[in-house]
């Protein structure tokens, strides 16, 4: 029987075989439980037999799953070694970053790193959150800037660079501009300008509004620069990272905190095995953000 199994699915199978928990494995792999379930089902369909025996109380490897596991482990280990070998001799670093990389303080860090290591070449590539997570999971990227909701379990290895939250940028003439704090309940029915689709900020916003049972009236979803034009014409309120929004403050705009906690931690996530140049970068970032400041 010929098969063309997806490497990412094989990695997920190995992780699930270890934890025997869809929720734990989904969290570890940075995917939803439904996506993990689909991927395992795709493998089982391709192989023609179940890999796990599921019941309401527990799950276990099937006979096929038990026989397949050592081969799957060898495949994932060999893939990691090949990826490591391919990057070992390159005096360069590729960093995957989410929308608005300066939110993760990565731009300033890279400038400082390049000054200290001028012979190491750095290239950054910006992707949306799903693409970034998939490329990291499949080891196409060893270094990514990543953010996690406050209270969410943060995977290791991860270097936390800081904490930020979402705030509201409001035209001074807007009737909500004289408030000290804005609740999302007061934003019901108001035209909103929000970050791009499939970004950590947008996911945080959507989750918060859904929890509170409030529908969002979105008039613009995209870059902050594009949304500013709507603000200038008093066409809505912008919800954005407070640090980024603060850069656009002007006489006709005010920045107000959100009463609800829509915060997140951000920093650098990296593979357990990295090349020599990548390790230098990881060590540099760790020194920057984990060394106590006097």
Ramachandran quadrant class, 105 (left: phi over 0; alpha: psi -120 to 50; beta: rest): left
Please answer whether residues 129 and 207 qualify as being in contact, where contact means their C-beta atoms are separated by less than 8 angstroms: no
Q: Which residues make up the CATH 1.10.10.10 domain(s) of the chain? A: 7-87
Q: Residue 268: which of 157, 126, 150, 182 has the closest Cα?
A: 157
Q: pTM for the whole thing? A: 0.63
May I ask the CATH architecture of the domain 92-293? 3-Layer(aba) Sandwich (3.40)
Instruction: Report phi then psi at 145, rounded to 5.
Output: -80, 130
pLDDT score at 105: 66
Distances 97 to 91, 103, 118, 166, 168 between C-alpha atoms, Å: 20, 10, 21, 19, 24
Q: Which residues make up the CATH 3.40.190.290 domain(s) of the chain? A: 92-293
Query: What is the pLDDT averaged over residues 205-228?
Result: 87
May I ask the CATH architecture of the domain 7-87? Orthogonal Bundle (1.10)
- pLDDT for 252-285, tens place per residue? 899 999 998 888 888 899 998 888 899 999 999 9
Strands (E) located in the chain: 52-54, 59-61, 92-97, 121-126, 143-149, 158-171, 191-194, 217-221, 237-241, 253-257, 263-270
């Amino acid at each position: 029987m010929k098969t063309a199994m997806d490497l990412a699915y094989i990695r997920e199978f190995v992780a699930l075989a270890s934890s025997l928990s869809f929720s734990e494995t989904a969290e570890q792999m940075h995917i939803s439980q439904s996506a993990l379930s689909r991927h395992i089902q795709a493998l089982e369909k391709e192989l023609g037999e179940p890999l796990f025996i599921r019941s309401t109380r527990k799950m276990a490897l099937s006979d096929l799953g038990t026989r397949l596991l050592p081969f799957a482990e060898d495949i994932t280990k060999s893939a990691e070694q090949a990826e490591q070998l391919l990057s070992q001799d390159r005096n360069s670093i590729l960093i995957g970053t989410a929308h608005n990389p300066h939110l993760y303080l990565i731009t300033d860090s890279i400038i400082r790193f390049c000054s200290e290591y001028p012979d190491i070449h750095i290239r950054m590539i910006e992707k949306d959150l799903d693409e970034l997570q998939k490329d990291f999971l499949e080891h196409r990227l060893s270094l990514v800037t990543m953010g996690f909701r406050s209270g969410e379990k943060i995977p290791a290895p991860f270097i936390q660079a800081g904490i930020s939250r979402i705030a509201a940028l409001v035209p001074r003439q807007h009737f909500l501009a004289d408030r000290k704090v804005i609740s999302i309940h007061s934003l019901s029915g108001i035209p909103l300008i929000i970050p791009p689709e499939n970004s950590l900020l947008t996911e945080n916003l959507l989750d918060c509004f859904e929890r509170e049972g409030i529908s969002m009236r979105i008039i613009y979803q995209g870059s902050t620069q594009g949304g500013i034009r709507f603000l200038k014409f008093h066409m809505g309120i912008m919800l954005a990272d407070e640090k980024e929004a603060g850069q656009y403050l002007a006489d006709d705009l005010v920045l107000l905190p959100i009463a609800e906690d829509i915060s997140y931690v951000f920093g650098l996530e990296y593979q357990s095995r990295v090349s020599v140049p990548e390790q230098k970068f990881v060590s540099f970032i760790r020194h920057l953000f984990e060394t106590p400041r006097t």
